[in-house]
Copies of this chain bind each other. A is one copy, B any other.
Amino acid sequence: MSGQTRNLRSVLRTAGCRITGQRKLLLELMQIHSGHLDAHELYRLARERDPRLSLSTIYRTLGLLHELGLVNELHLGEEHHHYEIAPAAAHHHLVCASCGKIVEFGSSLTEKLTAAVAREHNFEITEASIDLTGYCADCRAARRRGEAANPQS
């Protein structure tokens, strides 16, 4: 678990940033919940371990990590931002509208797509965000059985 942690820390250090307890904690939490956290969720988790940690620190840290390219800022649902540790390989999101489950996917088609669009519109593309929404197999099955879908834990 600490291989990736050390990696992230070294980027911070190289950038001339200090490795504080708060930053260590947040980095670790983002890795454990390798998924997609929003600021409040992260705040809640962090305060279980360090009750004095403030929401400003969350935002400042996420902003910093985002600037350094260590985390991505996602705009998935209708609401606020979500963040994820920036993956080495590009990937995108498939969201279940019923239970909120988020599945990551990657596909060679996505690269073909961005290349085609870049060529056609003479853009230099630096970021691609592909978010698909729909219903997962579980929720479709539950719906067929007349059950309510349960939101993700």
**Interface of A toward B, CB cutoff 8 Å:** 73, 75-76, 78, 81, 94, 96-97, 103, 105, 107, 109-110, 112-114, 116-118, 120-137, 140
Contact = CB atoms under 8 A, between A and B. Distances in A.
Given A75-B75, A129-B131, 9 more contacts: A75-B76, A103-B121, A105-B117, A126-B133, A127-B134, A128-B132, A129-B129, A129-B133, A130-B131
Given A73-B78, A109-B113, A127 B118 contact: no
Contacts of A75: 75-76, 78
How many copies of this protein are present in the complex?
A: 2
A contact face: mostly helix, strand, loop, or mixed: mixed
Contacts of A117: 94, 105, 107, 132
